[in-house]
Amino acid sequence: MFKINENYLKLPGSYLFSAIGKKVNAYSAAHPDKKIIRLGIGDVTQPLAPAILEALHRAVDEMGRAETFRGYAPDLGYEFLRSAIAGQDYQARGCEISADEIFVSDGAKCDSANIQELFSLDNRIAVCDPVYPVYVDSNVMAGRTGTYDSAKETWSDVIYMPCTADNAFAPELPGDGQTPDLIYLCFPNNPTGAVISKARLQEWVDYANRVGAVILFDAAYEAYISEPDIPHSIYECEGARTCAIELRSFSKNAGFTGLRLGFTVVPKELKCGDVSLHGMWARRHGTKYNGAPYIVQRAGEAVYSPEGKAQLKEQIAAYMKNAAYIFNGLKEAGYTVSGGVNSPYIWLKTPGGMSSWEFFDCLLEQVNVVGTPGSGFGPNGEGYFRLTAFGSYENTVEAVDRIRKLHL
Ligand code: MLT
């Protein structure tokens, strides 16, 4: 008789964005006449930039001719894309990362869920609270998180690093007796939209090297950084090559949520004793993965072309115009808001002491606007709410105007 991985049974509820989707679909089915504006999941709405579309068309045509047809992609990614990434995302910023340290994949969500496989089940993880749920859930599935306390909504073996208004939503280094082995950091942060300075990130790198921890650094939103002195990559910090893995996505900077493309950087110096994590991750890719599609990798290459870069700069500016509209509109209306300056996410305090889900229901039912309840990201998200700037400008303006008219 087969047995299941019982760790799955420990997972409370369903995945946050699936739960929200179900609620919204039920409301929509019951009220087909209502125009719902969705500023919940961070999904892009602008069409692919022309340079990317052209690259896709060219690659599709290549696949239709015997001389240029491609079968299996190299499992770590095509050289043309890995070189563009290493050169433009890293070396151009002074980071010492080479093309053979880049592992191309079909997205940062999968990589951030899969990377924990490289580590012992005894390892203790530390996460920000609130946090992107994939980091915790993937460790629950692996059996690394201990028991769940449903009253506190926390796991016994996870170190939670509170990110609150008091610390500007940036975690403090873990205190004595709480030494993590794996530290998940995401900056610009999902969900709070907060950033940390290079000096603060350097403290994390120094800490990880001192205690022998690995930082799993999710930089999916780096393209939204608008202020100076905010690191775009953890490898801008000295010593990061011996303690950090970086995860990146093409979803938010280039609109690939439906195309799927991302990459993970594993420096060759990152070792446990004399075992290299680079070698382990390469082994995993070789066994479990056949590479992102050729046409999508060609589309990814176009992200780095001069035309692609100019077009994507405009896309991001358009989303950031939405972010500013939400931020300023809600602030003027008396809301306490943060994020939205170096990030497409606006993090707001729910009004009148409402819980995150009460505010979600209120927005959905009274003004037909969908956001994401902060408590879905962790206990310290309770009393907060996330709105995304990824909608159209018209919908963003209408949503803010509707929220401002809300009678609470
Ligand atoms: C989010 O809304 O938090 C993101 O879209 C989730 C993701 O990128 O997987």
Counting from 1 in the atom list of ligand 1, the atom nearest the Cα of 220 is 8
Q: What is the mean pLDDT of residues 349-367?
A: 96
Helix (H, G, I), strand (E, B) or coil at 203: helix
How many whole angstroms separate alpha carbon 50 and alpha carbon 258?
16
Q: What is the mean pLDDT of residues 121-144?
A: 97
The angle, 0 to 180 degrees and rounded to 10, between the axes of the packed helices 306-332 and 393-404 is 10
Q: How far is the CA of 38 from the centre of ligand 1 (A)?
A: 13
**Cβ of 139: how many Cβ atoms within 10 Å?**
26
pLDDT at 15 over 90: no
Q: What is the mean pLDDT of residues 230-237?
A: 98
pLDDT score, position 13: 82
Q: What is the mean pLDDT of residues 126-134?
A: 97
Counting from 1 in the atom list of ligand 1, the atom nearest the Cα of 109 is 9
What does the chain come to in residues? 408
pLDDT score, position 149: 95
Q: Do residues 104 and 81 lie in contact, with contact meaning Cβ atoms separated by under 8 Å?
A: yes
Q: How far is the CA of 17 from the centre of ligand 1 (A)?
A: 8
Q: What is the mean pLDDT of residues 241-257?
A: 98
Q: How far is the CA of 128 from the centre of ligand 1 (A)?
A: 16
- Please, what sign has the CA dihedral across residues 343, 141, 178, 276? negative
Q: Do residues 349 and 315 lie in contact, with contact meaning Cβ atoms separated by under 8 Å?
A: no
Q: Whose CA is nearest to atom 6 of ligand 1?
A: 42
pLDDT score, position 175: 87
**Per-residue pLDDT reduced to its tens digit, 193-215:** 999 999 999 999 999 999 999 99
Q: Whose CA is nearest to atom 5 of ligand 1?
A: 42
pLDDT score, position 177: 83
Higher per-residue pLDDT: 406 or 248: 248
**Cβ of 353: how many Cβ atoms within 10 Å?**
8
Model confidence band, residue 407 (pLDDT cutoffs 50, 70, 90) = confident
Q: How far is the CA of 312 from the centre of ligand 1 (A)?
A: 19
Q: Which residues pair with 125 in a beta bridge?
A: 158, 182
**Per-residue pLDDT reduced to its tens digit, 252-298:** 999 999 999 999 999 999 999 999 999 999 999 999 999 999 999 99
Residues with a CB atom less than 6 Å from ligand 1? 41-43, 109, 132, 190
Q: Which residues pair with 214 in a beta bridge?
A: 182
Residue % of the chain over a pLDDT of 70: 100
Q: How far is the CA of 323 from the centre of ligand 1 (A)?
A: 16
Lookup: tokens for 162: 């509170």
The angle, 0 to 180 degrees and rounded to 10, between the axes of the packed helices 50-63 and 306-332 is 130
CA-to-CA dists, residue 212 to 148, 161, 182, angstroms: 27, 18, 9
Chain-wide mean pLDDT for the chain? 96
Q: Whose CA is nearest to atom 9 of ligand 1?
A: 109
pLDDT score, position 108: 96
Q: How far is the CA of 160 from the centre of ligand 1 (A)?
A: 20
Pocket test of ligand 1: the residue of 20, 132, 260 to mutate, having most ligand atoms within 8 Å of its CB, is 132
Counting from 1 in the atom list of ligand 1, the atom nearest the Cα of 257 is 8
Q: Which residues pair with 369 in a beta bridge?
A: 37
pLDDT at 132 over 90: yes
Helix (H, G, I), strand (E, B) or coil at 21: helix
Pocket test of ligand 1: the residue of 43, 347, 384 to mutate, having most ligand atoms within 8 Å of its CB, is 43
**Per-residue pLDDT reduced to its tens digit, 70-96:** 999 998 999 999 999 999 999 999 999
Q: What is the mean pLDDT of residues 34-63?
A: 97
Pocket test of ligand 1: the residue of 15, 16, 17, 39 to mutate, having most ligand atoms within 8 Å of its CB, is 17
pLDDT at 408 over 80: no
Q: What is the mean pLDDT of residues 39-57?
A: 97
Model confidence band, residue 16 (pLDDT cutoffs 50, 70, 90) = confident
pLDDT score, position 302: 98
pLDDT score, position 170: 97
Q: Using CB atoms within 10 Å of the CB of residue 183, give its burial: 0 to 12 exposed, 13 to 18 middle, 19+ buried.
A: buried
Q: Do residues 239 and 201 lie in contact, with contact meaning Cβ atoms separated by under 8 Å?
A: no
Q: How far is the CA of 43 from the centre of ligand 1 (A)?
A: 7
pLDDT at 377 over 80: yes
